Structure 1
Amino acid sequence: MLSLEKRSRQLVGKVAAQAASRERLPSGLWFHDDIRDNFYYASYLHAASLDPDIRVRFDREQAKATAEQVLGLVLELQDRREGSETYGHWPLALGEDPKQASPHPLPVELMGSLMLYFAERSGETLPEDLRTAFEVALKAVYDSRFYDKPLREYGHHEAKYTAAKLLFGSFYGDDELLEDGRRSLKALLARVRDRGMHEYGSQPWFWHWVQAFACARLLLDDADITADLNSMLDYLWSERSLHYIGGAWAGPHARGLSADAPKDGNVGFDYLQYGDFRLPPQLVRAEYAGFLFYEAPEEARIAAMDRLVPVEVKKKVLKPLEDGSDRELHSYTYLTDAYAAGGMWERSEEFDNEQHRWDVTLPLSYELGSSVNQAYFIHPGEGYGEGDLRHESPYTRILPDRSVVMALYPVPEGQDPGIVGVLPKGEWIRDEQALFGLVGGVYLAVFLRYGYEADEQEDRVSVRSTGASNAVVIEAASVEEAESLDIEDLEGFAELMRERAPIFGEGGGSASYRSLHSRRLELAVSEDGTTLARIDGQAVGFGDYLV
């Protein structure tokens, strides 16, 4: 494994190379879809141009000049209109003419703090006019008071507001703002310790928590605040480590972007922290991962990278509702060194309908190449598009148990009952209603109630199956686990699993299966819509399952 210093330089150099090779648009920027990416790319390119220990294939002086030009263009797009409700803000999507783009509340939330970090760490290397431009922009951010909001949802927005209060309060000697940030930090810390994070497994939001508080930790020296920031970051990385498997994020997700499913692509933060997998050829959403490092607690880091003894992670998530009450959600994830399986018992309405209920996850450390590393099925719901399996309907009931996930799809009459799925590339045997695969040292058995169509694509096997009250059962087994069952190859695995095929109820709505762990699993949906689940004949409810 490379040292932390080498991993950091490797990450910075890789993003810088992507920036250097990307053609700029007529506006002088690289991106018009998200202004923040211009700031991030420019930061990496600037850092790499000045670091002689980062091997580059571009002209350093030209790269530095390009980075400074882009930084200047980004700063110019800030709203500086006196009296404007969006004073100090930047547009998000820039459109065809960035100068005409409307300011948006999101970019400043994180980018404002990271700009302060950049100015503090790199300001001396900038030409005087750009240093002055940063000073003007940061003062406008401070004066905007965008962060001056109370804690209500205790989510990623408030995390970024809190970090900004601390950073700008300290930087501008605003003791009242600094104290407000101190109180907010303590309240946020108490909240997550008491109730957990309702933004469970949401990479884009989770990493904003990490970046905001790591940024504050690296720039502030107040002992009391630093202690709380350490505690917050320890908590965040301990939570991350619970669902870590070889560069991947196992278990259910409140939301995800296309970089998160069906392949874990947002890996910059994990690479710097754990370093037990190879960086992909292209990095996506690296944001400030290469600059903001905080070492996770040793015991959490070691546990995350040592899955020789399988673990079951059971979590109760308290999701706040608009009426002030809470809804309990219950997640289950089974992790080994070769694979992870699990999901969220209940469906929840999440942002952009992006709750990812369940999957089998393979570690990126198995070097799957361009292949996806997740296997799962959904009944398409609001927001679904061809090839985008992040949006599913409410019509799914699941029973996750160790290496198995069972899923029923009681789609109401009058709606298309077809389900779609994704499987990693590998060696596959296709039966009429089942698929058996060997992927990256893991065997997968996939059983469906009905027949299916499978389309092998560049990075995945896409599966479609239709029929009323469809159902899927997936089980994973490592090569070592299979060998203990006297299985030597995929043919042998398929032969064994055919004998263990699940029994699907004739009228639909039920499935039973005996797993390779010799556990008898039963899942059914009653006529009144109640989910019935049993393990070895014992009825289990959501709360019972967590005991």
Structure 2
Amino acid sequence: MTTIQQRQDEIIANIAQAAYKQPILSNGFLFEGDVRDNFYYASYLFAASVDSAITFEGDRVAAKAKAESVLLHLLQIQDQDPASSTYGHWPLNLRPSPQEASKNTLPVELMGSLMVYFAQRYQEQLSEALRVALETTLRHIYESNFYRKPLSSYGHHEAKYTAAKLIFGQRYGDAALVQDGYESLQLTRQRVTANGMTEYGGLPWFWHWVQAFTCAWQLIQDTEIRSELARMLDYLWSERATFYLGGAWVGPHARIWPHDMPKDTNVLHDYVQYGDFKLPTHMPRTEYAGFLAYEAPAQTIQTALERSSGPVEIKRQIPKQIGQAQHENDHLHSYVYITESFAMGGIWERIREFDNEQHRWDVAFPLDHVQGVNHGYFFHPDLEQPEGDLRHQSEYTEVLFHKQVIMASYDIPTGQPDYIKGCLPLGEWIETPNGLFGQIGNVYMAVYIQQAFKREVLEDRCFVTSQGSRNAVVVECIDQSQAELLEIRDVHHFAQLMNDKQPTYGATNTITYTSLLNQALLLSGDLAQGISKLIDGEVIDFTSYTVA
């Protein structure tokens, strides 16, 4: 088993090598799409050029010169006019040119604090020109006061402002700013530990919480504040461990991007902390995982890594947030069933989160147990969904979760897309007119679809579509050890058994199904008739759902 430092060095080496090979554009940058990538990649290249302990195949002198050149170009395009409305900021993308691109408030939020870390860690190895440029830039960030905002939503933006208050307050001897940051940190920790995070499973923004507070923890010298930062990070890593399975983030998400679903690829911080899966070659969000590290408590790591003692059910209350309105007693409810081989569940309530990126339910597999995508799910697409995107779900869905079964009904009104779409991992699949029965790693998975469907096998996934304004999907999974107890011999035997266990679909969008555990499940999603969700005739007890 490798150490955290060894895994960080591996990340630095891989990204530095990519940066070394990446051609310099005519404008002096490595990338035009996101200015922050220039900072991240140049930082890694610089680190590899000055640290002989890091494996690097290239000329270290040339690598350092290249890294410093990119960093100098980056610092030069900061708005350094105190009279400007975008004082202290950078453009997000560099088109049509770095000088003409409009400034954006996002880059400095995280990158500003990380620049302090970079300047302090490598102060002895920096050239005089870069050292002076960095100090000038950091002074402008401090004087821009971008971080002086009150707490309101307790989200990832404010987490970064809080860390910046501490970091810049300490750097420039601003005791009042440090105290403001400390009070904001205390209020934030108290809020999330008492109520939970409104940004449940919000990727990649969760990692911005982790990076911002880890950066502060590594820089802050005040022992009292550092202890409070440690308590905040202990909470964050406990939250991550709860929904962790071999690099996968299981359960529902308030927000996702294409690199979060249907395959977890934003995994560098998980790799550094846990190291129980292979480091991928594709790293879409490099950020500062190779530099920042806070080792989670042993019990937290055990929660994440040791799933062999048996399945667990995680039932959570989540504070609801719509825009900036916080409702103290208004909660969503998430459910996840986790085994050592798969996890499944989701969120009971539909809510239109920011950019309509709520991910309602799925089945997740550990990264190293699959080839290609590691999540399987279906949904009805929203009218605003971009072509080819497997996000942006509509509101016309009802769900029922119970252990290794997920039931979803789709009652689609006129004027909406009259089909559902789905994504399944690659595996050995047996297709019948009423469903798909497959083996993914050591997991058997049954997928019943009410209406006729079409499956397309792609390079890294199976893509499924099914037409009809009324539709339903029922999913049940078992692992091989459980299958053996049921005397299931192989995937063909499983398919035969499950094909005889078809759900019953009623006239009012009702689904009834008896699971392999012989539990009777009923989902009726007809708004006119009232919505029923019953397990063995009992209504789901949401009073058992807790904050943590």
Coarse TM-score class (shorter-chain normalised): over 0.9
SS at match of 2:349: coil
Give the structure 2 partner of residue 102 of structure 1: 102
Give the structure 1 partner of residue 534 of structure 2: 534
8 Å contact from structure 1 (residues 32, 96) kept in 2: no
Give the structure 2 partner of residue 391 of structure 1: 392
Unaligned runs of 5+ in 1: none
**Equivalence map 1:5-154=2 (5 Å):** 5-154=5-154
8 Å contact from structure 2 (residues 383, 416) kept in 1: no
**Equivalence map 1:116-265=2 (5 Å):** 116-265=116-265
Q: How far apart are residue 95 of structure 1 and its match?
A: 1.1
Give the structure 1 partner of residue 367 of structure 2: 364
Q: How far apart are residue 257 of structure 1 and its match?
A: 1.0
8 Å contact from structure 1 (residues 91, 103) kept in 2: yes
SS at match of 2:75: helix
Q: How far apart are residue 415 of structure 1 and its match?
A: 2.5
Give the structure 2 partner of residue 470 of structure 1: 471
Percentage of identical aligned residues: 50
Mapped to 2, the partners of 1:142 and 1:359 lie a distance apart of: 43
Mapped to 1, the partners of 2:297 and 2:483 lie a distance apart of: 34
Q: How far apart are residue 278 of structure 1 and its match?
A: 0.4
8 Å contact from structure 1 (residues 418, 466) kept in 2: yes
The number of residues matched between the two structures is 544
Give the structure 2 partner of residue 491 of structure 1: 492
Q: How far apart are residue 396 of structure 1 and its match?
A: 1.0
Q: What do the CA deviations read for 1:459-478 (whole angstroms, capped 9, x no partner)? A: 10000001121000011111
Give the structure 2 partner of residue 332 of structure 1: 335
Mapped to 2, the partners of 1:545 and 1:529 lie a distance apart of: 26
Mapped to 2, the partners of 1:61 and 1:183 lie a distance apart of: 44
Q: How far apart are residue 94 of structure 1 and its match?
A: 1.6
Q: How far apart are residue 541 of structure 1 and its match?
A: 5.5
Give the structure 2 partner of residue 457 of structure 1: 458
Letter in 2 for 1:524: S
CA RMSD of aligned residues (A): 1.5
Give the structure 2 partner of residue 342 of structure 1: 345
Q: How far apart are residue 24 of structure 1 and its match?
A: 2.8
8 Å contact from structure 2 (residues 426, 440) kept in 1: yes
8 Å contact from structure 1 (residues 443, 478) kept in 2: yes
Task: Provide closer, same or farther for how the CA distance between residues 44 and 364 of structure 1 changes in structure 2, counting only shifts above 3 A.
Answer: same
Letter in 2 for 1:311: V
Q: TM-score, normalised by structure 2?
A: 0.97
Unaligned runs of 5+ in 2: none
Task: Provide closer, same or farther for how the CA distance between residues 375 and 164 of structure 1 changes in structure 2, counting only shifts above 3 A.
Answer: same
Q: What do the CA deviations read for 1:445-471 (whole angstroms, capped 9, x no partner)? A: 100001101110011000000112100
Mapped to 2, the partners of 1:427 and 1:503 lie a distance apart of: 26
Q: How far apart are residue 96 of structure 1 and its match?
A: 2.3
Q: What do the CA deviations read for 1:357-390 (whole angstroms, capped 9, x no partner)? A: 0000001132x24x10000001011442333111
Mapped to 1, the partners of 2:24 and 2:543 lie a distance apart of: 54
Q: What do the CA deviations read for 1:479-502 (whole angstroms, capped 9, x no partner)? A: 222122111211011011112221
8 Å contact from structure 1 (residues 269, 289) kept in 2: yes
Task: Provide closer, same or farther for how the CA distance between residues 529 and 417 of structure 1 changes in structure 2, counting only shifts above 3 A.
Answer: farther
Mapped to 1, the partners of 2:208 and 2:527 lie a distance apart of: 43
Q: What do the CA deviations read for 1:41-82 (whole angstroms, capped 9, x no partner)? A: 111111112222222222222221111111111111100123
Give the structure 2 partner of residue 351 of structure 1: 354
Mapped to 1, the partners of 2:475 and 2:22 lie a distance apart of: 41
Task: Provide closer, same or farther for how the CA distance between residues 52 and 324 of structure 1 changes in structure 2, counting only shifts above 3 A.
Answer: closer
Q: How far apart are residue 21 of structure 1 and its match?
A: 2.4
Q: How far apart are residue 441 of structure 1 and its match?
A: 1.6
Q: Are positions 1:290 and 2:290 aligned together?
A: yes
Q: Are positions 1:481 and 2:482 aligned together?
A: yes
Mapped to 1, the partners of 2:439 and 2:16 lie a distance apart of: 36
